[in-house]
Amino acid sequence: MAVQPSRSDRRELVRERAFTAAGLTAAVALVTTIVLFLVQLFITSRASRAAFGIPFLWRSEWNPVTEQFGALPMIIGTLITGFGALLISTPFALGIAIFLADYAGKKAAEPVKYLIGLLGGLPSVIFGLWGLFVLVPIVSRFEVWFGKLVGSEALVASGTTGVGLLAAILLLAIMILPFSASLILESLLVVPMELKEGALALGATKWDTIQNVELPYVRRSMVGALVLSLGRALGETMAVTMVIGNGMRLPHSLFDPANTLASAIANQFLEATSPVYIASLIQLALILFVIAIVINIAARVILRRGVQQ
């Protein structure tokens, strides 16, 4: 039964080896990319660490003129906008997901899902454009009104621009809404029908079933979905850059101009001339990179466990 390898057999073998090698190469390249990013950003931000060391993380001064740099204002700005946006958008995202999973029939759900995809697919810069010319003027009017309400003349005077943390939070909330809504919807759809029907058969109302059966069942994957959305919000760049106002100091109120890690880089990198300034901006990118990787891996681990349960 031993067969002499023919020419076509040999060709097949060569192709097989090339194919295996290509697959492995691509897979290794993908894993290496993360290391490559880390190493590259670490090396090119040396000058910043040489000048400020670890305290860079909690120094609150960011002054290109005196070349004193600290990341605290940006870290605070990133956390406030990220969590603020998550706080505002989550109830709506949850509502939309529940609506699509349990209330809307197939006929109503399909177009809504399509629109969610549409909103999620709009580029960041488009949201920025809309935020800058539509949302910011509204926020500005709200600031003046709010200033008069609480009797703060400073606010009435300074807050008229509208750019700042609040505008960024609102815009981010809109941007992550489709993302977190579809992630939550995905987790709701795996709840077994029998569980829901069992509760309904016991005389529970639809909302009782959702509150007591469905939501507890997906608790874990919902946390995963929200962590992923947070990661998305923390790294969002263009839209935030366009409405946050490039403030260098620690913000004192929601109406202050500020910066996130991402927006500081986008706003200032092309203007940065000195090596320490450039390295400090790259250092911000490194911090953002590490935060993003940690959050994403954590979220995936949570989600995977959620599925396994």
Which residue reads 């090698």 in tokens? 21
How far apart (Å, rounded) are the C-alpha atoms in residues 175 and 60? 29
User: Taking Cα atoms as reference points, which of 88, 86, 89, 115 lies closest to residue 100?
Assistant: 115
Q: Is 42 in the site for another protein (CB under 8 A)?
A: no
Site map (CB under 8 A) of another protein, residues 178-217, x = contact: x--x-----------------------xxxx-x-------
Contacts (CB under 8 A) with another protein, residues 265-284: 265-266, 269-270, 281-282
SS (H, E, C) 18-45: HHHHHHHHHHHHHHHHHHHHHHHHHHHC
Asked if 288 and 261 touch (Cβ cutoff 8 Å), the reply is yes
Non-local (6+) Cβ contacts of 200 within 8 A are: 206, 209
* Nearer residue to another protein within complex by CB, 155 or 261: 261
* Residues 6 or more apart whose Cβ sits within 8 Å of residue 215: 222
Answer yes or no whether residue 222 interacts with another protein by CB under 8 A: no
Q: Which residues pair with 68 in a beta bridge?
A: 63
Q: What residues between 105 and 164 interact with another protein by CB under 8 A? A: 112, 115-119, 121-130, 132-134
Q: Measured from the CB atom, is 152 or 237 closer to another protein?
A: 237
Please report how close the Cβ of residue 195 comes to another protein at its closest, in angstroms. 18
Q: Which of these segments, 5-13, 61-69, 144-152, 160-168, binds another protein (CB under 8 A)?
A: 5-13
- Residues 46-105 contacting another protein, CB under 8 A: 91-96, 98-100, 102-104
Closest separation in Å from C-beta 117 to another protein: 8
Q: Which is nearer to another protein, 155 or 228 (CB)?
A: 228
Rounded distance between C-alpha atoms, residue 213 and residue 196, angstroms: 7
